[in-house]
């Protein structure tokens, strides 16, 4: 695999210590933007277990890979050799582990004062829970991002691990690294980036806190404007078992929704923003959507600006005409994956490269350093 792919981060050198979902996603974003990301695996592979750090798939694309025993003095010494020429180090250990192993921020700063040292954790580097284990569902629970998700009277429902691991974790990590690199251009020195999933997940609820502050989010779970409480912001089953997503919040779009459903001339319909009539509106919408298939409704709303869209499974999203036209998904080594985002007109990155094979593509540290001269 070549290190040069172009892109706005071309020339940025990132050392990634192999870990699970959030940090690899953040490093994937950096690699997608052109950074030269070198993943450091443990010798002999990622280890056993269902939750062992994966070495393939989209999150590992566009990397180079080396293997070091970071519990040995030789492995740590080799890591510090990489640090001396790197711009960024990304680690996802519990607080204090990197320090005990001999490559904490102070040690790395002594080898490279310009290094951006990015730390990805669930609870952060300090606080009562800093040393505790957790997963996405725990972080979004404490952040206040889980409680609002779900239907009335039902349990809160986690949206996969999209909020904590990827949005509040890996993406916030990438933003932190980019900000630190930009600041380094002014100060000449690096700094530690403390990216905690509980912090990032709380940040994602900023808009919700604004609604709470103005009294616009006062009802219980599943009974508010954007949580499925409003019948014009919800999903509906179709006759073939598919679903349509309706987001007709504004009156103009709502009027077009009624036109598409054939309800525009129904004088008995409750007013759009009268919550006392929402149950009746939902009943009418449910009945009408159940009359046709998902593809038939997609055709009905194809030329109507009603904020209505088919609910697509991950495996079929790439076939949607809009996604196909924009190249929102790409094929990498025979696998359909989301394409890099955002896009750049002057410094576009090349297409993603397949994830390196740790059994075949492991590069000696000396080879990586030679490419970084």
Question: Residue 111 catalytic?
Answer: no
What backbone phi and psi angles, to 5 degrees, belong to 37? -100, 125
Give the C-alpha separation, 49 to 18, whole Å. Answer: 15
Quote the strand ranges of the chain, DSSP E: 13-17, 36-41, 63-67, 88-91, 116-121, 192-196, 233-237, 243-247, 308-310, 329-332, 335-338
Q: At CB < 8 A and 24+ separation, what contacts does 299-303 make?
A: 300/260, 301/244, 301/260
- 298 Cβ contact list (under 8 Å, min separation 6): 244, 309, 310
Give the C-alpha separation, 181 to 80, whole Å. Answer: 20
Q: In what order do the strands lie in the sheet with 233-237?
A: 233-237, 243-247, 308-310
Active-site choice (32, 41, 78, 165): 165
Cβ–Cβ under 8 Å, residues 68 and 368: no
Question: Residue 135 catalytic?
Answer: yes
Query: 3-state class of 51 per DSSP?
Result: coil
Give the C-alpha separation, 84 to 172, whole Å. Answer: 25
- Answer whether the bond into residue 342 is a cis peptide, omega within 30°: yes
Helices 251-261 and 278-289 cross at an angle (nearest 10°) of 40
Active-site choice (69, 111, 135, 194): 135
Q: Which residues are catalytic?
A: 135, 165
């Amino acid at each position: 695999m070549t290190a040069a792919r172009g892109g706005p981060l071309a020339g940025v050198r990132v050392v990634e210590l192999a870990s699970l979902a959030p940090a690899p996603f953040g490093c994937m974003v950096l690699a997608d933007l052109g950074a030269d990301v070198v993943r450091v695996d443990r010798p002999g592979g990622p280890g056993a277990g269902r939750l062992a750090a994966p070495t393939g798939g989209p999150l590992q694309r566009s990397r180079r890979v080396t293997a070091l025993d970071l519990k040995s003095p030789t492995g740590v010494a080799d890591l510090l050799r990489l640090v001396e020429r790197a711009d960024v180090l990304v680690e996802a250990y519990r607080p204090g582990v990197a320090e005990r192993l001999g490559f904490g921020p102070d040690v790395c700063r002594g080898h490279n004062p310009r290094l951006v040292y990015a730390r990805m954790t669930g609870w952060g580097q300090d606080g009562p829970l800093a040393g505790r284990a957790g997963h996405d569902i725990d972080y979004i629970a404490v952040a206040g991002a889980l409680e609002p998700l779900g239907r009335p009277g039902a349990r809160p429902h986690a949206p996969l691990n999209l909020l904590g691991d990827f949005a509040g974790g890996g993406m916030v990590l990438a933003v932190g690294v980019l900000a630190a690199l930009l600041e380094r251009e002014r100060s000449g020195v690096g700094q530690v980036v403390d990216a905690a999933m509980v912090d990032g997940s709380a940040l994602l609820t900023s808009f919700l806190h604004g609604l709470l502050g103005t009294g616009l989010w006062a009802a219980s779970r599943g009974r508010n404007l954007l949580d499925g409480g409003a019948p014009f912001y919800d999903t509906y089953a179709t006759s073939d078992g598919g679903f349509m997503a309706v987001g007709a919040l504004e009156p103009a779009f709502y009027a077009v929704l009624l036109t598409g459903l054939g309800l525009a001339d129904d004088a008995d319909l409750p007013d759009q923003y009268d919550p006392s009539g929402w149950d009746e509106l939902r009943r009418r919408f449910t009945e009408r959507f159940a009359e046709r298939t998902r593809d038939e409704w997609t055709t009905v709303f194809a030329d109507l600006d009603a904020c209505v869209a088919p609910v697509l499974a991950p495996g079929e999203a790439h076939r949607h005409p809009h996604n196909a036209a924009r190249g929102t998904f790409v094929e990498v080594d025979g696998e359909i994956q989301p394409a890099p985002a955002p896009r750049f007109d002057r410094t576009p990155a090349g297409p993603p490269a397949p994830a390196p094979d740790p059994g075949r593509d492991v590069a000696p540290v000396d080879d990586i350093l030679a490419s970084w001269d």
